[in-house]
Amino acid sequence: MQAALSRLRGVSPGTLYTVALASGLVLALVWALYLSYWGGIDVRNAFDYQSAIVAAQRDAELLEVEQNDRKGLPPQLRPYEKLLDSDLTRIDAVAVSETQRAPVFHFPGTVTGYQRLDERLRALEELGRRRFRDAASSNVRTRDASNVLFALVALLFTIVQERLRRRIEENRTLVERLQRAFISRHGDLPNVGVGSVLISATQGSQIGGDLFDVFSYDGRLGAFLVADVSGKGIDAAVDTAFIKYAIRALFSERSDPGDVLTRFAAIYSHNAESDDTFVVLFLGVIDTETGAVRYASAGHEPAWVRSAGEVRILAPTGPLIGVIPDTHYESHAFTLEPGDEILISTDGLTESRDARGRLLEAAGVRAWFCEIDRDAQGTADAIVQRLRKRSRRIDDDLAILVLRYEP
């Protein structure tokens, strides 16, 4: 100790000040990095907690409908039970107190059990909202403190700012990839060329309320859909994910699009978080060997079929989903010949405006479709190119799906 004190006495005050300043800068940098890098963890965990509760509410509703309304057998109920069980496990994984833990639910459920589960999940939903608000407020405070520290450590501010910019860019790219891979990604169908475009009106994100999906469910038949959920952003994106997987699940039991749409409308009415929400949806099934198509359309924008150089409109077969309860949807049929194409889009196309405020409308889309002669993806891309040239800016979510029969 005496030796250390002797060395300190021999050091000039300027050197001590420099060392103290350097130490302060290092500590400030470490603290600022901690706040900027880890400050959002509580917000993320709170969001994950809310997401798990919403998923549990939806899956509990599906399971109850399958068990009590449709009288499903144990093998049919097992997939829904696994989904609900995984949701409850996710809730426990991110709960921070005993009051936030998931309720105990025994399979198979009873009427009383479902009622208790619903009441408890509603209570947890409110706890989740408070937790998210508190986490967001705390994150704001830590972010403000971080900004003050960055201002004080001006020499290191540029480095930290660049790190934050890269992190934000990585997160934005991740969101875009999740949107394409998780919500709207079409599969391949034999003898059918598929083209698609998805554009979000949410600035800097691919999250939105428009959806397309194409998938094969028995090797020969392929299903395709385009949907538009009321609203924008994350809330609408949650509904699009529900639509996608609910429709896929229903196709495991039904093959007629009208039946599937009727059943989905009933399920959606039980799961809609607000009476004001609705879904516009076009659902079709194509026989990839014969070109035979059956479709049902819930209040959807006109779809178009090009055959032998002429374009005709496929009109809706029923109202919007979520507007009229207990609606039955009919299926209509037609057959594609080699080279025929189907074009389906959400209202971001027909309701787009030019510089003078004029709508494109269905007639304008029909004219474009008549003039474009490319493969499926080329047709979708050409429509978007014309739209950008005409409208300069796309202010609404937009999904376009093109199917070309190519046996």
Nearest CA among 280, 270, 325, 278 for reference residue 58: 270
Q: What is the reported pLDDT for 118?
A: 86
* Distance between start and end Cα atoms, the chain: 89
Residue 176 CB-density burial (10 A; 0-12 exposed, 13-18 middle, 19+ buried): middle
Q: Residue 374 belongs to what H/E stretch?
A: none
Q: State the Cα–Cα distance between residues 91 and 103, nearest whole angstrom.
A: 9
The string of DSSP codes covering 6-57 is: HHHHTS-HHHHHHHHHHHHHHHHHHHHHHHHHHTTHHHHHHHHHHHHHHHHH
Contact 255, 292 (CB under 8 A): no
Task: Tell me the pLDDT tens digit for each residue of 2-55.
Answer: 554 455 455 555 555 555 555 655 666 566 565 555 556 777 777 788 888 888
Q: Which neighbouring-strand residues pair with 333? A: 294
pTM of the model: 0.56
* pLDDT in the model for residue 132: 77
What is the predicted pLDDT for the residue at 367? 94
CA distance 379 to 72: 44
Q: Give the tens place of pLDDT for each residue, 159-176.
A: 545 655 776 676 666 555
DSSP element (H, E) containing 250: helix 233-251
According to the model, what pLDDT value does residue 160 have? Answer: 46
Structure confidence at residue 71 (pLDDT): 84
Q: Per-residue pLDDT for the chain (407 aa), expressed as one digit of tens each?
A: 555 445 545 555 555 555 555 565 566 656 656 555 555 677 777 778 888 888 888 888 888 888 888 888 888 888 888 888 888 898 888 888 888 888 888 888 888 888 888 888 888 888 878 887 877 777 666 666 666 665 666 554 555 456 557 766 766 665 555 555 445 566 789 999 999 998 876 654 555 678 899 999 888 999 999 999 886 666 677 778 888 889 999 998 888 999 999 999 999 888 766 667 889 999 999 999 999 999 999 987 789 999 988 999 998 999 999 888 789 999 999 999 999 999 999 998 999 899 888 999 999 999 999 999 899 999 999 999 999 999 877 777 899 999 999 99
Please name the residue that has the structure tokens 């201002």: 151
Question: pLDDT value at position 181?
Answer: 46
Looking at residue 5, what is its pLDDT? 46
CA distance 301 to 364: 13
Tell me what pLDDT residue 108 has: 85
What CA–CA distance (Å, rounded) separates 292 from 270? Answer: 33
Q: What are φ and ψ of residue 271, in 5° steps?
A: -110, -10
Query: Encoding tokens for residue 120?
Result: 């408890």
186 sits in the region (left: phi over 0; alpha: psi -120 to 50; else beta) called beta
Pairwise CA distance, residues 382 & 124, whole Å = 48
CB of 118 closer than 8 Å to CB of 47: no
Q: How many CB atoms lie under 10 A from the CB of residue 73? A: 10
Do residues 193 and 406 make contact, with C-beta atoms less than 8 angstroms apart? yes
The distance from CA 52 to its chain's CA centroid, rounded to whole angstroms, is 15
| Residues whose CB falls within 8 Å of the CB of residue 152, separated by 6 or more in sequence, listed in order | 28
46 backbone φψ class: left, alpha, beta (φ>0; ψ -120 to 50): alpha
Helix, strand or coil for residue 376?
helix
**H helix or E strand, kind and range, residue 306:** strand 303-307
Bridge partners for 208 per DSSP: none
310 strand-pairing partners:
307
Distances (CA, A) of 79 to 40, 249, 363: 34, 10, 45
Question: How would you classify residue 153: left for phi > 0, otherwise alpha for psi between -120 and 50, otherwise beta?
Answer: beta
CA distance 328 to 320: 11
Q: Which pLDDT does position 158 carry in this prediction?
A: 55
pLDDT for 46 equals 76
